[in-house]
């Protein structure tokens, strides 16, 4: 073991969790958790694609996960049948990842993907409706609202197809709309086939209350991106990063209880993306150009939470790729073990 690999292990493995073989967890894995392993595998053999749906589901099973959230695309009926058979044989759940229809010309693509989701037995189709992190992507609140209007139109355009195939469309709170606006959208659509992919960390970047945002979305939940977060201050605001479950700043037992109370049988999918912590520059003028809704009280509550619940993640991009992959593996294994042992997932 190299010195840098030893540092990776000592910095991220919680004793008693990732240092033992993974027992089977009901927690699934989001494909983005394995970005680095996919990249490394492609460097070894360009013909190998870890994100091929059946390959990825098999990989998730080998890690001890209970399911997978992966883009299915417009799989053939035969491939859908093979995927569904494997998942059924091994008691795994499948969720897909889709893009909503941009316009009428895009409806056939969306229809094919939702048909594949149904044929593969997907429990939900996770999506996002507004591009990018709001405070990075938009230069003004007007620009953001125009994009949000287009995103809402995409949901309305998707609705008949979603209801035809009866696979719930799960819209993620993707550092885009604040929770009040997202809840208003879901209430207006008012369909059991359109709900939320509850990301348990994202809304903190828009100065929403950590647990209040989850409570508001939980009744609409069709899917969960379950994560812990590292929090630390920097000059322009705070750093927000994915970190193995149980090693971050959030009360995960409280989060599980909130969601389970609203949706007792809902699947949880781990999202722990191994990367450098993201900057949330909430003390800059640029941030407030597009994020205008929060109050001074929201900002104060958020920064107090950061100071009282600080947890740091190590730098990832400074490591060689092979050590990034090892760190990614450790983060997933540690999280699965923690979820199974401590959270009953």
Interval 147-183: pLDDT, tens: 999 999 999 999 999 999 999 999 999 999 999 999 9
Q: Tell me if 191 is assigned to some domain.
A: yes
237 forms beta bridges with 234
Residue 299's SS3 state is: helix
Q: Tell me if 4 is assigned to some domain.
A: no
**How far are the Cα atoms of 78, 98, 116, 237, 313 from residue 81, in angstroms, in the given order?**
5, 19, 10, 48, 41
Q: Which domain holds residue 272?
A: 20-339
Tokens at residue 234, please? 């920097």
Q: Tell me if 117 is assigned to some domain.
A: yes
Q: Where are the beta strands (DSSP E) in 192-287?
A: 194-199, 221-226, 228-234, 237-243, 269-270, 278-280
Residue 312 has what pLDDT? 87
**How far are the Cα atoms of 1, 224, 260, 263, 307 from residue 94, in angstroms, in the given order?**
36, 13, 19, 18, 38
Residue 16 has what pLDDT? 35
Residue 14 has what pLDDT? 37
Residue 168's SS3 state is: coil
- Residue whose entry in the numeric block shows the structure tokens 């800059």: 284
Residue 22 has what pLDDT? 52
Residue 129 zone, left/alpha/beta (φ > 0; ψ -120 to 50; rest): alpha
**Where is 125: in which H helix or E strand?**
strand 125-127
Residue 304 has what pLDDT? 97
Q: Tell me if 5 is assigned to some domain.
A: no
**Where is 94: in which H helix or E strand?**
strand 93-97
Tokens at residue 11, please? 């910095």
The mean pLDDT values, 10 residues at a time, for the chain of 345 residues are 40 39 82 97 95 97 97 97 97 98 97 98 98 94 97 98 98 97 98 98 97 98 97 97 96 98 97 97 98 97 96 90 96 96 94
- Residue whose entry in the numeric block shows the structure tokens 């609203």: 262
* 210 contact partners, CB below 8 Å, separation of at least 6: 203, 204, 250, 305
Could you give the residue ranges of the DSSP H alpha helices within the chain?
Answer: 3-12, 35-44, 53-62, 77-89, 107-119, 134-137, 141-165, 179-189, 210-217, 252-262, 285-290, 296-308, 321-342
Residue 241 sits in a domain of what CATH number?
Answer: 3.20.20.150
Q: Tell me if 11 is assigned to some domain.
A: no
* 163 contact partners, CB below 8 Å, separation of at least 6: 191, 193
User: Rounded CA gap, 61 and 86, in Å?
Assistant: 10
Residue 215 has what pLDDT? 98
Q: Tell me if 1 is assigned to some domain.
A: no
User: Rounded CA gap, 141 and 204, in Å?
Assistant: 19
Burial of 317 (0-12, 13-18, 19+ CB in 10 A): exposed
Helix 210-217 × helix 179-189 angle, to 10°:
0
- Residue whose entry in the numeric block shows the structure tokens 């990832």: 316
Q: Tell me if 6 is assigned to some domain.
A: no
Q: Tell me if 247 is assigned to some domain.
A: yes
Burial of 297 (0-12, 13-18, 19+ CB in 10 A): exposed
Could you give the residue ranges of the DSSP H alpha helices within 218-312?
Answer: 252-262, 285-290, 296-308
Q: What is the tally of structural domains in the chain?
A: 1
User: Rounded CA gap, 257 and 269, in Å?
Assistant: 15
User: Rounded CA gap, 95 and 213, in Å?
Assistant: 23
């Amino acid at each position: 073991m190299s010195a840098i690999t030893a540092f990776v292990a000592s910095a991220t493995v919680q004793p008693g969790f990732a240092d033992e073989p993974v027992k089977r967890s009901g927690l699934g894995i989001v494909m983005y958790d394995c970005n680095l392993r996919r990249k490394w595998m492609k460097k070894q053999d360009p013909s190998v694609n870890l994100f091929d749906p059946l390959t990825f589901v098999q990989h998730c099973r080998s890690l001890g996960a209970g399911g997978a959230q992966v883009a299915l695309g417009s799989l053939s009926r035969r491939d859908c049948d093979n995927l569904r058979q494997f998942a059924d044989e091994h008691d795994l759940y499948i969720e897909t990842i889709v893009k909503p229809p941009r316009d009428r010309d895009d409806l056939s693509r969306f229809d094919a993907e939702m048909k594949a989701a149904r044929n593969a037995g997907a429990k939900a189709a996770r999506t996002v409706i507004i591009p990018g992190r709001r405070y990075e992507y938009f230069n003004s609140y007007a620009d953001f609202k125009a994009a949000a209007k287009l995103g809402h139109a995409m949901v309305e355009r998707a609705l008949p197809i979603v209801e035809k195939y009866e696979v719930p469309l799960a819209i993620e709170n993707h550092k885009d709309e604040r929770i009040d606006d997202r809840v208003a959208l879901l209430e207006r659509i008012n369909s059991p086939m359109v709900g939320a992919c509850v990301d348990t960390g994202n809304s903190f970047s828009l100065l929403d209350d950590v647990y209040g945002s989850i409570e508001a979305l939980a009744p609409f939940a069709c899917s969960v991106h379950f994560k812990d977060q590292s929090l630390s201050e920097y000059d322009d605001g705070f750093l927000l990063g994915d970190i193995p479950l149980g090693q971050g700043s959030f009360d995960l037992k409280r989060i599980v209880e909130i969601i389970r109370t609203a949706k007792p049988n809902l699947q949880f999918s781990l999202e722990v993306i191994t990367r450098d912590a993201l900057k949330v520059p909430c003390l800059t003028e640029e941030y407030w150009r597009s994020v205008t809704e929060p109050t001074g009280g929201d900002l104060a509550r958020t920064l107090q939470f950061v100071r009282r619940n600080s947890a740091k993640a190590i730098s990832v991009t400074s490591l060689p790729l092979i050590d990034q992959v090892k760190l990614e593996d450790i983060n997933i294994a540690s999280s699965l073990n923690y979820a199974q042992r401590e959270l009953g997932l």
